[in-house]
C-alpha cells in the first residue's frame, strides 16, 4: 500500500507497582485491576483511528508508561496485534517497551520478542541502593543486571537505561559509579536526566516543607559534563541533550518527536500530533475507559497548529539534537529562509555563545546545552 505520510505510534500503559517520589507522569499505583478493561478500550481506540491512519506508514512504536512491564505480556501482545491489523506498520519498525528491573522474566521477554518488540528500555535511575530507596524505586542494580541478562538471553541487543543525576545526596563519585556500571553491562543507549522537582510529587511536597534541598547547579552541571565526556570516550556519543548512543542505536522513536514527524498516541493522557493538529487524551484511566465504552474517541483537547507554531517547534525541538537544524531542511519544510525568519534571535544567541552557526547549520554550543531553555524561549 502507498502511504504518503510517516508517523510514530505511542502506546501509554499507566500502571505502576508503586509511585516513585519524583514522578509526575500519568501513572498510577494500585490500579492494575483496570488493566483488562483498559486494553479492551485501547483496542477500540485503535479501531477508531483505522480510517484516519490509512495514509500513514508507522516507522516506530513506543510502549511507555507507567511501567508497561507490570501488566501481563498477553495485553502487550494483543494490542500490538491489533495495531498491526488496523495500521500500516513498516517491516523494520523499531518497537520499544519501557520496563523496570525486576519485572522482566525470561518468559515475558520471549513473549515481547515474539510480539515484534526489538528494543528494551529499563529504568535503572541509580546504582546505589540508598539513592534508589530515596527515589522510591523498588529494585536494585542486581535486579537490573539480571534483567539485562534475561533480555540478552531472549535475543535483545538494543537496550536502553534511564538514569538520573542531581539527586539530593548523590555525589559525583556515585554518578561515576552508575555510569561505569552501565558501561560494564554493555548498554548501548543511555538517557541521563537531571532530576526535576515537580509540584504534586512527594519530592515537591518535601521541598515545600524544607526537607528536600535541590543540589547546587554547579554539581548538577559537573555530573552532566562528566557524562558527556565519559560516555563519548566509551563510544556512546551524545546525540540529544539527554541521550547517548553507540552508532546505529539512537532511539528512532524519540527522533520522530525531535524532528517533528507526526505521531499518534493511544491510551490515557497520550498526546498526538497529526495533520497539523495537536490533541491529547483524557488523563484518568476510568475516564478513558468510559469514553471508549460509549464508542467515542477519548480526546479532550484539540489544538490546530499555525505555521508559526510549527516553525518555532521545529526550531526548539531540532536544537535539542547535537546535529542541530539546517537552513536547507527548514526551507524544504516551510518554504522560508531560516536565517531571515529568526535573524534577530540567532544573532542574539550567537553573541551570547549559546549557539554556533556554521554554513547552513545552527546548533547549540556546550554552554547552549547547559542553558537550553534560554535558547528555546527565543523561538516560542
Ligand atoms: S516507575 Fe516510572 S512511571 Fe512509574 S511511578 Fe516510577 S517514575 Fe513514574
Mean pLDDT in residue range 129-144? 97
| Pocket-forming residues, ligand 1, beta carbon under 6 Å | 16, 19-20, 23, 25, 27, 65-67, 100, 123
Q: Whose CA is nearest to atom 3 of ligand 1?
A: 66
Q: If pLDDT is split at 50, 70 and 90, which confidence band does 102 have?
A: confident
pLDDT of residue 33: 97
Q: Given this model, what pLDDT does residue 84 score?
A: 98
pLDDT digits (tens, 9 = 90+) for 7-25: 999 999 999 999 999 999 9
How remote is the CA of residue 370 from the centroid of ligand 1, in Å? 26
Ligand 1 centroid to Cα of residue 54, in Å, is: 33
Percentage of the chain surpassing pLDDT 70?
99
pLDDT 10s digits, 277-315: 999 999 999 999 999 999 999 999 899 999 999 999 999
Q: Whose CA is nearest to atom 7 of ligand 1?
A: 23
What are the DSSP E strand ranges found in 5-125?
A: 5-13, 15-16, 28-29, 56-65, 88-99, 119-125
Mean pLDDT to the nearest integer, 361-366:
98
Dist. CA 162–CA 180, nearest whole Å: 14
Q: Which residue has the cell 483496542?
A: 43
Name the fold adopted by 307-379: Arc Repressor Mutant, subunit A (1.10.10)
Q: What does residue 346 show for φ and ψ, rounded to 5 degrees?
A: -65, -40
pLDDT-derived band of residue 64, with 50, 70 and 90 as boundaries?
Answer: very high
pLDDT at 108 over 60: yes
Residue nearest to atom 6 of ligand 1 (CA): 20
Segment 218-229 mean pLDDT: 98
Q: Check residue 147 and give its pLDDT.
A: 97
pLDDT surpasses 70 at 2 = no
Pick 5-258's CATH classification: 2.60.40.10, 3.30.200.20, 3.20.20.70, 3.10.150.10: 3.20.20.70
Give the closest residue (by CA) to ligand 1 atom 5: 19
* Bridge partners for 299 per DSSP: 281
Percent of the chain with pLDDT over 90: 98
| Residue 123: pLDDT band with limits 50, 70, 90 | very high
Nearest atom, ligand 1, residue 24 CA:
8
DSSP string covering 266-284 = ESTT-EEEETTEEEEE--S
Q: How far is the CA of 15 from the centre of ligand 1 (A)?
A: 9
Sorted by sequence, the CB contacts under 8 Å of residue 264 that are 6+ apart come out as 7, 8, 9, 10, 49, 53, 56, 272, 274
- For this complex, say whether ipTM is above 0.95: yes
Q: Look at ligand 1, atom 2, and give the residue with the nearest C-alpha.
A: 66
How far does the centroid of ligand 1 lie from the alpha carbon of residue 256, in Å?
23
Q: Angle 35-49/73-86 helices, nearest 10 degrees? A: 10
Please compute the mean of the pLDDT values over residues 22-49 and round it to a whole number.
98
**For residue 65, which atom of ligand 1 is closest to its CA?**
3
Average pLDDT for the chain = 97
Q: Which atom of ligand 1 is nearest to the CA of 22?
A: 7
pLDDT at 1 over 70: no
Indicate the domain borders of the chain: 5-258, 307-379
Task: State the CB neighbour count (10 A cutoff) for residue 12.
Answer: 24
The grid cell for 349 is 544567541
CA-to-CA distance for 284 and 352, rounded, in angstroms?
43
Residues contacting residue 294 through CB under 8 Å, at least 6 positions apart: none
Tell me, in angstroms, the distance from the centre of ligand 1 to residue 29's CA: 9
Closest residue to atom 8 of ligand 1, CA basis:
23
Give the DSSP H or E segment for 232. Answer: helix 217-233
Q: Which atom of ligand 1 is nearest to the CA of 66?
A: 3
Amino acid at each position: 500500500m502507498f502511504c504518503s505520510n510517516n508517523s510514530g505510534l505511542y502506546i501509554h500503559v499507566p500502571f505502576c507497582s508503586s509511585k516513585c517520589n519524583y514522578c509526575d507522569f500519568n501513572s498510577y499505583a494500585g490500579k492494575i485491576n483496570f488493566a483488562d478493561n483498559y486494553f479492551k478500550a485501547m483496542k477500540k481506540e485503535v479501531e477508531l483511528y483505522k480510517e484516519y491512519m490509512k495514509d500513514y506508514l508507522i516507522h516506530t512504536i513506543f510502549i511507555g508508561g507507567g511501567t508497561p512491564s507490570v501488566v501481563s505480556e498477553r495485553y502487550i501482545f494483543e494490542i500490538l496485534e491489533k495495531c498491526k491489523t488496523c495500521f500500516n506498520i513498516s517491516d523494520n519498525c523499531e518497537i520499544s517497551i519501557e520496563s523496570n528491573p525486576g519485572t522482566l522474566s525470561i518468559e515475558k521477554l520471549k513473549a515481547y520478542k515474539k510480539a515484534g518488540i526489538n528494543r528494551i528500555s529499563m529504568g535503572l535511575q541509580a546504582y546505589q541502593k540508598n539513592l534508589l530507596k530515596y527515589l522510591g524505586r523498588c529494585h536494585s542494580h542486581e535486579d537490573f543486571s539480571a534483567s539485562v541478562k534475561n533480555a540478552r538471553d531472549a535475543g535483545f541487543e538494543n537496550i536502553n537505561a534511564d538514569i538520573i543525576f542531581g539527586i539530593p545526596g548523590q555525589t559525583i563519585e556515585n554518578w561515576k559509579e552508575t555510569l561505569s556500571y552501565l558501561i560494564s553491562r554493555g548498554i548501548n543507549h543511555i538517557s541521563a536526566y537531571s532530576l526535576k522537582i515537580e509540584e504534586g510529587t512527594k519530592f515537591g511536597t518535601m521541598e515545600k516543607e524544607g526537607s528536600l534541598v535541590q543540589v547546587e547547579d554547579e554539581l548538577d552541571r559537573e555530573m552532566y559534563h562528566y557524562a558527556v565526556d565519559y560516555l563519548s570516550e566509551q563510544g556512546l556519543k551524545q546525540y540529544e541533550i539527554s541521550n547517548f548512543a553507540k552508532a546505529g542505536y539512537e532511539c528512532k522513536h524519540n527522533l520522530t518527536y525531535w524532528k517533528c514527524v507526526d505521531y499518534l498516541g493511544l491510551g490515557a493522557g497520550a498526546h498526538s500530533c497529526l495533520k497539523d493538529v495537536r490533541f491529547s487524551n483524557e488523563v484518568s484511566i476510568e475516564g478513558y475507559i468510559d469514553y471508549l465504552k460509549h464508542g467515542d474517541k477519548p480526546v479532550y483537547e484539540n489544538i490546530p497548529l499555525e505555521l508559526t507554531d510549527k516553525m518555532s517547534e521545529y526550531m526548539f525541538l531540532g536544537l535539542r539534537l547535537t546535529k542541530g537544524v539546517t537552513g536547507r531542511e527548514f526551507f524544504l519544510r516551510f518554504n522560508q529562509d531560516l536565517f531571515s525568519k529568526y535573524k534577530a534571535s540567532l544573532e542574539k544567541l550567537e553573541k551570547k555563545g549559546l549557539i554556533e552557526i556554521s554554513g547552513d547549520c545552527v546548533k547549540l554550543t556546550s554552554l547552549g546545552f547547559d542553558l537550553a531553555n534560554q535558547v528555546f524561549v527565543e523561538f516560542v
